[in-house]
Structure formats: C-alpha cells, structure tokens
Amino acid sequence: MPDHLPRRQVLRTAGALGLGAAAAGALTSTADATTRTTGTPDRLAAMGEHHGKLEIRKDPFGTTPDGQGVDVYTFTNGRVTISMLTWGATIQKVITPDRRGRNENISLGFDNLPDYAALSPYFGATIGRYGNRIAKGRFTLDGTTYQIPINNGENALHGGTIGFDKKVWKAEVVKSGKAVGVAFTYVSPDGEMGFPGELTSTVTYTLDKRDNLRIDYHATVAGKPTIVNLTNHVYFNLLGEGNGTIYDHVLELNAAKYTPVDVNLIPTGEIAPVAGTPFDFNRPTAIGARLRGDHQQLIFGRGYDHNFVIAGQADHDGLRLAGRFTEPEHGRTIEVHTDQPGVQFYSGNFLDGTFLGIGNKAYRQGDAFAFETQHFPDSPNHPNFPSTVLRPGETYKSTTIYSFGTK
C-alpha cells in the first residue's frame, strides 16, 4: 500500500500528535545509546546462542510528548531475531541468515522514535481500525453515514490521520516451550477517527522454533457496530534493508483474481482474472519483470499496489498459502499463510530516498515490498466484497504466518 504520505501530510500528522515540524526535538529517544549498541544484527542474534533457544528482553526506546514511555521488545529463537515497538505495535527489525549463515535485518524501519512519529510510511506497523483505503473516507452502516479523516488524496488510508500505527499499545510477554513474543493491546474509544463503537484489539506476535512469525488478531466492539480490517505493514527486502531493490526477488502469488482500481487506487468493484495481465504471479516471476509495461493498472499505482484474491482450499487451521518470495542471490525466502480473503501487494513505489532508515540508509523506490493480508479495500462501499462489519457480541479473529527460510 503506498503508504507514503506527502510532506504536507507528514507535517499535519506531526502537528496532530503535538510534534510540530521539529519532531526530532519534541520526542526524546531515551534508548538511543542502547539501540545503537545492542541493535546490530550480531548482538541481537547472539541473544540465543543455540538454534531453538527462545529468549526475550525489553529496553526503553523513547518518550512521547505527553510522557508515554515507548519500549522495544527483542525476541529470538537463536536463528531469527525480531524487534518490536510498543509504538504502533511495530515490527522494527527482522534479522535472518542467508544460505551461508550471514545475518541481515530484512525489515525497513528507523532507529529512533521521532522518525516513526513524524515520517514513517507505516514501516512495520499494526494497522487499524481499517487497513487500506476507504473512498472519500465515507461509509454507511445500518443507515448511519460515518466520515473518516482524509489522508491519502481524497481517501482515508489505514484508519485516518492518526491510526493505530501512531498509538502506544500495552504489551505483555508471551512465552512457552514452543514460541516467544508479545501480545499488544489497544482500546480505541467510540468515535475515534470517526469510527463507531469502542474497539478493543489484541494482536499477538510469536516466533517459534521453526522460524515462523505468527500474528494473531483479536477484536471486540462495545456499544455500536463498526468495521474492522487489521493488518501489519512490514516492508521487506531479502537482500537486507537499504541494500538494493526488490525487483529481482521472485514472487509466487496464489491468486487467480484481483480487484482492479481507479485512478485514486479505489477498487472499481470488479473482481477480475489475473491471467494475461502483469498481475499473474501464479508461476514464480521476478517482481520487476513487468513493472515497466504500459498496463493502466500499473500506471495508477506507479507499480504494484493492488489487492489480490487468495485462491485455494484452507488447511485444517483455516489457513491458505498467500505467497512465496525468494531472493536468488543470497537465498532468503518468506512464505506467507493467512485466513484472510485478500492480500495487498505493494512494490515500494512511493519510497523516494527521503527516508533515512536504520544505519542512516536511504530507502528508494522499489527498495522493499509489503504483503498485507486483509479484507478487500473499500469493502464497506462494495456489497459484493466480503464484509468487514463487526457487531457487539461478535469476535474478530484472524491469523497470518510469515515463515522465514533459505533456498
């Protein structure tokens, strides 16, 4: 999802958070020294000296202008290491080995809180209350029309101007003999960003001994019905963040259909076949192989920024393969399974080199991909799409698994 905000929108967002244009001075990074010392791949990977040893630690990461402390949780199985922030329940780092055992952070992010607050195009964030776009920020539920703040052209994106990605979540360590991680909880009051009902969301991230990062979403609403579409917006580069483009990454995407969009990247309502189009990744294909074509849909999104309809039968856990990514040079792979009906594949089209990430690396167009498991964009305005309505007494549940490996 582009999830790039124009500079003027960044400043408006920063102002709404009480940051102003000089966000770096308004937020204090109490853990800068700790992050820079312990945040290297070698030190983080060394937390678990033997594959299969599950460990977790918490460190301070910064403080918001209103005095809320933000922490970073780092958990490992001795091979894969994940760092997550309570700010936005955000995946900051994912450190994995290549086929020769060399560790790299393959997730885009920042090493300080001010940049996350003022600049981040949703790097690694948990997205809510509604992931993806809602046309003109408007939807009608049970005869009442609701307005979400516009923050992406004429549309609402990822929950409006201050979504779940800009909230400090409560965190609780989760650890068993098989997995380790963190359960994040946020309570969104009735009317926040224009959404009805008080929504309580818990998103649990756990890493097991087989290099699977599991994300379990759980939400309930009180008072009024609402709409919900939670996802995570991690940006990956299997070469290592800041180490080049993802155009040579090979993608196998389990989808026979996709939802075409208009010039504003809002679905037209059609569910179209991918066959014969640049959207057909049913056979493994390099991401960049067809990006320079003149297909109108690619022009609209400056590349891939589209929802795909996941195909196939679910397994006994209700999960289906959504896609596989392989980086041929160093051999890292990611396989994604989910119970969601769709996935937004975004090829990093709006990264423009102005984002300086971890290690002061510039992130440019095509330097990462996002693969956001989800219900379809703008679903409340398309009755033929799977419903995203959640009513009091019901429970929203969803699971996505990222499996890391080598080939």
pLDDT tier, 394 (very low <50, low <70, confident <90, very high otherwise): very high
The answer on pLDDT for 215 being more than 50 is yes
Same domain, 123 and 244: no
Helices (H), 96-219: 113-118
Q: Is residue 194 part of a domain?
A: yes
Lowest mean pLDDT among 10-14, 90-94, 211-215: 10-14
What pLDDT, in 10s, does the model give residues 300-323?
A: 667 899 999 999 999 999 999 999
Same domain, 244 and 313: yes
Alpha carbons 25 and 91: distance in angstroms, whole number: 24
Same domain, 218 and 359: no
pLDDT tier, 1 (very low <50, low <70, confident <90, very high otherwise): low
Residue 133 marked ligand-binding: yes
Alpha carbons 163 and 131: distance in angstroms, whole number: 9
**Closest to 116 (Cα-Cα) out of 181, 70, 151, 82:** 70
Helix (H, G, I), strand (E, B) or coil at 205: strand
How many structural domains does the chain have? 2
Same domain, 164 and 214: yes
In this prediction, residue 294 carries a pLDDT of 66
In this prediction, residue 11 carries a pLDDT of 39
Same domain, 331 and 251: yes
**Closest to 96 (Cα-Cα) out of 407, 338, 344:** 407
In this prediction, residue 15 carries a pLDDT of 46
Residue 235 marked ligand-binding: yes
Candidates 249, 306, 372, 382; catalytic one: 372
Range of the domain at 335: 235-406
Residue 102 marked ligand-binding: no
Select the more confidently predicted residue: 220 or 19.
220
Average pLDDT of the residues in 377-385: 98
Q: Among 164, 189, 222, where does a domain finish?
A: 222
Same domain, 159 and 307: no
Q: Is residue 332 part of a domain?
A: yes
Q: Among 222, 253, 275, where does a domain finish?
A: 222
> Domain of 160: which CATH number?
2.70.98.10
What pLDDT, in 10s, does the model give residues 163-172?
A: 999 999 999 9
Same domain, 346 and 266: yes
Average pLDDT of the residues in 135-145: 98
Residue 234 marked ligand-binding: yes
Alpha carbons 173 and 75: distance in angstroms, whole number: 10
In this prediction, residue 301 carries a pLDDT of 61
**Is position 233 annotated as part of the catalytic site?**
yes
Q: Are 164 and 219 in contact (CB under 8 A)?
A: no
In this prediction, residue 33 carries a pLDDT of 32
> Pairing relation of β-strands 133-134 and 156-157?
antiparallel
Q: Is residue 18 part of a domain?
A: yes
Q: Is residue 117 part of a domain?
A: yes
**Closest to 3 (Cα-Cα) out of 133, 109, 118, 108:** 133
Same domain, 197 and 343: no
Same domain, 284 and 383: yes
Q: Is residue 227 part of a domain?
A: no
pLDDT tier, 355 (very low <50, low <70, confident <90, very high otherwise): confident
Select the more confidently predicted residue: 50 or 340.
340
Same domain, 278 and 402: yes
Q: Among 222, 247, 271, where does a domain finish?
A: 222
Candidates 233, 249, 337, 375; catalytic one: 233
Same domain, 83 and 37: yes
Same domain, 116 and 195: yes
In this prediction, residue 9 carries a pLDDT of 42
Lowest mean pLDDT among 31-40, 52-61, 144-153, 180-189: 31-40
The answer on pLDDT for 27 being more than 70 is no
CA 115, 108, 308 angle in degrees (round to 5)?
A: 120
Lowest mean pLDDT among 2-6, 81-85, 112-116, 151-155: 2-6
In this prediction, residue 51 carries a pLDDT of 56
Helix (H, G, I), strand (E, B) or coil at 273: strand
What pLDDT, in 10s, does the model give residues 53-62?
A: 999 999 999 9
What pLDDT, in 10s, does the model give residues 270-297?
A: 999 999 999 999 999 999 999 876 676 7
In this prediction, residue 359 carries a pLDDT of 81
Q: Is residue 314 part of a domain?
A: yes
Q: Is residue 1 part of a domain?
A: no
Q: Is residue 73 part of a domain?
A: yes
Percent of the chain with pLDDT over 70: 86
**Is position 4 annotated as part of the catalytic site?**
no
Percent of the chain with pLDDT over 90: 81
